[in-house]
Copies of this chain bind each other. A is one copy, B any other.
Amino acid sequence: MKKLIKAGMLGIGNVGRGTYQTLEMNRQKIYETTGLDIEIVKILNRSPEKDRGIYVPPEKYTQNVDDILNDPEIDIVIELIGGIEPATEYMARALSNGKSVVTANKAALAANGSKLAKIAQDNHVLLRFEAAVAGGIPILTSLTTALLSNRFTEVHGILNGTTNYILTQMSENGTPYEEVLRDAQAKGFAEADPTADVEGFDAANKLSILMSLVFGIGAGPDIIPTVGITSVGQEDIRYASENGYRIKLLASAKEENGKVYGNVEPALVPVSHPLASVGNEFNAVFVSGNAVDNLMFYGRGAGPLPTGSAVLGDVIGIARNLEKNSAYDLVPQLRFDSELEYAGEGSNKYYIRMMVPERAGVLGKIASMFGDYGISIEVMQQKAPYEVNGEAAASIIFIVYEVEKSKLIEALDAIRKEGVILSIDNIMKVE
């Protein structure tokens, strides 16, 4: 029952190379365990003169995307160009031409997933994208197959390896942010322009996709409150540690009473929580379902081979059903039709770090004003006095019980107007 499956690949950057290499390494093993012989027969390569670090027979390269999108022998198109356009247009054309599509492109999916899923369904082909969230970790496959019998209540992800590497190094070695960032860039964990990573935009794209799979809602990265890691200082890391927490950039969403709350933000995670021990460039996704309870998936969220593993897993899954896609397998993984409603960031426990003048009555005033706004204090901790503009000052943190962020900001604004604080230096969610 040997069957040759022909795939075309758009782009041969890091992930494309990893996908091609993984297939070269394991083509025989895949054939032995599935009966499927998969070949990448054509590759869109706009810079064929560039050294890709692997051997690809030159006749596989084309500079014309139509050679792949219009080739009747190609059943599966692997889109690895990245970016929203022209990737979206190419995927739409492939799907319309009756080809299933595998992509690692979180930006295009977060922007146009709904449109692409519809085209796939109309054309009775599949759109798969395991590699788009958490790289090699099989989280999307698990959510949409083995865990499908659950109603999910929450999902929390460390979805960006660059920021997790930076926070881990800052935390373990006390290295300042700028220095770790330079080191991460040198090691290839951070890009020359690190904005998309360190500002949380990459994680927001992935959270948008996860929320669609887990809760069936469409919340684009443009409406997901997103805070990056640039405001996290050594002082925050020390305070967190002293109170039993580690700081992680979390992409989180939870369902409560028909509403879905979710955002991307550096958060204090209790050291006993499985996510707290996910270090360096590793990713993890923690998910709770009403039957399965708590699960965590841990692994490499990036890198050519781990991402290639996920891309090829999707290719194999599609290839297995190419002869006749079951109508029930054609149900899109991306869903936007649930009755749940996205409602922003919601209520959380928060950590606030501020500087206050070293004066009698200041703490009492702040505490009582929090009280006026119905905000209860769990932890208050003051550090040895500093000097700010010639005045004795103290660094103080509060951890306050569940409150809406807008209400917290309102209270802090009022406290600021009373003149009892010098500065508010950071606000972070506490899990």
Contact = CB atoms under 8 A, between A and B. Distances in A.
Interface in A275-306: 277, 289-300, 303, 305-306
A36 interface: yes
Interface in A252-295: 274, 277, 289-295
Contact of A292 (B289, B292, B309, B316): B309
A305 B321 CA distance: 31
* Copies of the polypeptide in the assembly: 2
A149 B316 contact: yes
A313 interface: yes
B149 A309 contact: yes
B321 A146 contact: no
B331 A33 contact: yes
A34 B316 contact: no
Contacts of A308: 149, 291
A145 B149 contact: no
A148 B317 CA distance: 9
Interface string A307-329: 01110111111011101101111
Nearest to A311: B149
Given A29-B151, A34-B328, A149-B313, 19 more contacts: A1-B328, A22-B291, A25-B151, A29-B150, A35-B327, A130-B146, A137-B295, A148-B313, A149-B309, A150-B309, A291-B306, A292-B306, A293-B299, A293-B306, A295-B297, A296-B296, A323-B326, A323-B327, A326-B326
A243 interface: no
A294 B309 CA distance: 12
A119 to B, nearest CB: 18
A6 interface: no
Interface in A79-110: none
Nearest to A135: B292
A147 B26 CA distance: 12
A230 interface: no
User: What 7 A-B pairs come out closest when comparing CB atoms?
Assistant: A138-B146, A149-B312, A320-B328, A291-B309, A146-B313, A295-B299, A136-B292
Contacts of A141: 141-142, 145-146
A179 interface: no
A313 B277 CA distance: 29
B300 A293 contact: yes
19 contacts: A3-B328, A18-B291, A23-B149, A25-B151, A26-B291, A29-B151, A30-B149, A33-B216, A36-B328, A145-B313, A149-B312, A274-B298, A277-B277, A291-B305, A293-B305, A295-B300, A297-B298, A319-B328, A321-B328
A290 B25 contact: yes
A142 B316 CA distance: 13
